[in-house]
Structure 1
């Protein structure tokens, strides 16, 4: 029973930090111009990477930070800057710059659309799948808050804590993947106008979250600001 209770607390901690509901408009914005297969590949790759990142830091985050001389405030400053910029572009009603591809790839994609025999090109296009790494996997899904939570939950370095932490985040990733898969359906049910309003609202929230990460990073780096 203690195991179930600890699993529930861990799951809710990750859910509050990662919040897949708030990530849904971001994912829709990043894959707005992609076909369903490409969008599915982006969701799958992003969540797998987010799970791997969180698992690695849950197992040996303290050692990784010590090895490379990285501090948590530095991670918060870098992640906060990225999240703020993504939120700013969403607030302006623009696509994230990380999702823009060159004209050569645009022409290639158009050519592939006219060729029904080449249906897998968009999925294998590295420029399109790059958004699964950044900003989707990190810093949105496995950002400084998620990493810090994983490290704090495994501070005692017991195998039970590590397995519970990794399992809880894995379940959350599966739930998030299902939400991402049905994101287009959700958009149709909500409507374009409501989705545009939601996207701008989430852009504002993301910008505020990014600013808060920056403030936390500055307070951690400069104790006099705390």
Structure 2
């Protein structure tokens, strides 16, 4: 049991559920309940598929493609930076017919599924946990964390109804600002790792 708990906690910290919840609220502010559920399902399924792929074939994929976790940090950081700047500078980003199924699918995959729920920190944690605790405890902890994400994200509509529209927009802007800061931190960590040869 200790192995399962010890595998769960670092992954919970790496996913940072309290930190990514405001982004989910901001991105789903204008969605209908049905579209929001579809987006949540796509995000969690995408995160699970990618995480399981990393768990069982991460080292092989990285070696085959010739990439490192630092490359992933820089790439994921650039994606998040573009999305956050677009939302901060061009306020219509989240209003581009968000109820359309294709838009919901895109947002569910990127940036929610990747790299917010399962980003470089989570990927690194999964690889370390697999080497430390084995496949089964890591898979169980991953599943438990993603189920927790789904449950917490599902109360997003209640939070949106509870908060006033002005408060939701304010949260969205603050979330985008912090998202930009997270993106810069990811890029900085990736570049530092590259220069350090790690």
Q: Give the Cα separation in 2 of the matches to 1:53 and 1:168.
A: 15
Q: What are structure 2's unaligned runs of at least 5 residues?
A: none
How far off its partner does 1:189 sit?
2.1
Contact 1:29–1:95, Cα closer than 8 Å, also in 2: no
Does residue 1:197 correspond to 2:170, yes or no? yes
Q: Specify which of 80, 85, 92 is matched with residue 83 of structure 1.
A: 80
Q: Deviations over 1:90-145 (max 9, x none)?
A: 44583547x745xxxx8xx7xxxxxxxxxxxx5xx333312111111111111111
Which aligned runs of 4 or more in structure 1 are off by greater than 6 angstroms? none
Question: Is structure 2 residue 151 aligned with structure 1 residue 181?
Answer: no
TM (norm. structure 1) is 0.78
Distance 1:25 1:93, change over 3 A: farther
Distance 1:26 1:79 in 2: 16
Q: How many residues align?
A: 198
Q: 2:114 aligned with 1:138, yes or no?
A: yes
RMSD, matched Cα: 2.4
Flag the 1:10–1:92 CA change in 2: closer, same or farther, 3 A: farther
Q: What SS does the aligned partner of 1:32 have?
A: coil
- Structure number with greater Rg is 1
Q: Gaps (5+ residues) in structure 1?
A: 110-121
Is 1:152 aligned to residue 128 of structure 2? yes
Deviations 1:147-195 (A, max 9, x none): 1111111125xxx621111111111111111222220111222333333
